[in-house]
Each structure stands twice: as structure tokens, then as C-alpha cells.
Amino acid sequence: MRLFAAIYPPLVAVDEFAAAVDQLRLGQAAAAGRSVGLTAPDRWHVTLAFLGDVPDDRAPEAAAAIAAGVERWRSRGDEPPRLRLAGAGRFGRGRFTVLWAGLAGDLPQLRQLAADVGQQLRQARLPFDDRRPFRPHLTFARPGGRLPEPQVAADLAALAEFQGQLWQVEEVRLMRSRLGPRPAHTQVAVAPLRAR
């Protein structure tokens, strides 16, 4: 199964950013029925660690490693990070274009949380994509070449000053990702940032 560890913004933050995206050329094209690679808001998340394909029988190990990473982070006694969606950017160009929302707020705590989760995944000898430094973002569209470049640039400029409301990270989720014409995310396990 294809797994990743992530945090999900609360519905109020998702709705706020979705309303901003709806005003973009990208959002208007999607509303008109064009396929422009807009990700469904219920799948918007911030990936802490992407494990990729993991044998089904190792999913419990992945859940335990993520829980151990959260416990290690929690042992420092920090408050859970408070974040907001802020600004936007892109990875790639042309048909490889990916659009993302940035994050602001308690980013050092979020980076530490990602590092603690990653450390425990390494100790469990679970593969994950740790070749690049953790760059907090939320992917919201993969338009590729389906939207003209000037429209992509204008949409990013329109989102440059976006500042969503603050929200607090409550948990890290281990998620299963299904690809295909109807992609879906299914929760496998959850690790709360506050002891229950």
C-alpha cells in the first residue's frame, strides 16, 4: 500500500483557502468543468514523510514508528504548532507544474515534528523520501500544461498575499493513498500531539 504521514488543516482553514482558489482562473476553469488538476479540498494536507509503497504487513510498523516520532516530539513539552496557510508557489514548469500553498507560524516546531517522525521511520527501517529537506507546503493543484502559463502566473500573484487564520496541529495521520481516476486518502492510524 502507498503510505504517507501528514497533518490536515481543519475544515475552516480548508474552506477559507478553497474560497480563495475558487476566485482564481484555475478555480473558475474547474467550476466550468475543465480538467485543470485541482485537488479535492478534502485531500489537502501537509506531508511530513512520504513512505511510498509499503508491504501491507508493515503498515502496523509504520503506524508504530509515527506514534513513536510524535511521542518523541511530545516529550519536549512544546505546545502543538500553530500554523496558517500563507502565500503560494510552484514546483516545476509546463506539464510538470504543481501549485502549493505555503505555511506560516510555528514552522520550527513543525520541522522538528517532521524530523522526529523521520528518525523513527529510519530506526524502523521503513523507506521514506528523505533525500530533500522538509519544505512545509500544501499541494492544491497539478495543472501541468492544462492552464496557460500567464494564467498560472496570475493565479500565483493573486495568492501571494493570502494569509489564512491560525489553527493548531492536533495530530499526525498515517494515510493510505489510492491513485487513479478517483484518487482517495484513507486514514490508517492517527497519533495525537496531546496526550489523551
Q: Select from 154, 81, 152, 145 the least CA-distant residue to 115.
A: 81
pLDDT surpasses 90 at 3: yes
- Cα distance between residue 126 and residue 52, in whole Å: 10
Q: Looking at the annotation, which residues are catalytic?
A: 45, 137
Q: What is the pLDDT of residues 179-192, one digit of tens each?
A: 777 778 899 999 99
DSSP per-residue codes, 134-191: ---EEEEE--TTSS-HHHHHHHHHHHTT-B---EE--EEEEEEEE-SSS-EEEEEEEE
Confidence tier at 127 by pLDDT (50, 70, 90): confident
Question: pLDDT confidence of 196, banded at 50, 70, 90?
Answer: low
Could you tell me the sign of the dihedral formed by the alpha carbons of 85, 82, 175, 119, in that order? positive
Pairwise CA distance, residues 5 & 30, whole Å? 28
The domains located in the chain, with CATH, are: 2-192 (3.90.1140.10)
What is the model's pLDDT at position 93? Answer: 84
Q: Is the pLDDT of residue 9 over 70?
A: yes
Q: Note the pLDDT of residue 35.
A: 86
pTM comes to 0.92
Q: pLDDT (tens digit, 9 = 90+) per residue, 36-82?
A: 889 999 999 999 999 988 999 999 999 999 999 999 999 988 899 99
CA distances to 52, 177, 179, 185 from 182, rounded to whole Å, are 18, 11, 7, 10
Helices 59-74 and 107-123 cross at an angle (nearest 10°) of: 140
Concatenating the DSSP letter of every residue in 29-46 gives HHHTT----BPPGGG--E
**pLDDT score of 144:** 83
Three-state DSSP at 24 gives coil
Mean per-residue pLDDT of the chain: 92
Q: What angle do CA 89, 37, 11 make, to 5 degrees?
A: 70
pLDDT of residue 36: 87
- pLDDT tens, residue by residue, 75-126: 988 899 999 999 999 998 888 899 999 999 999 999 999 999 999 999 999 9
pLDDT at 164 over 70: yes
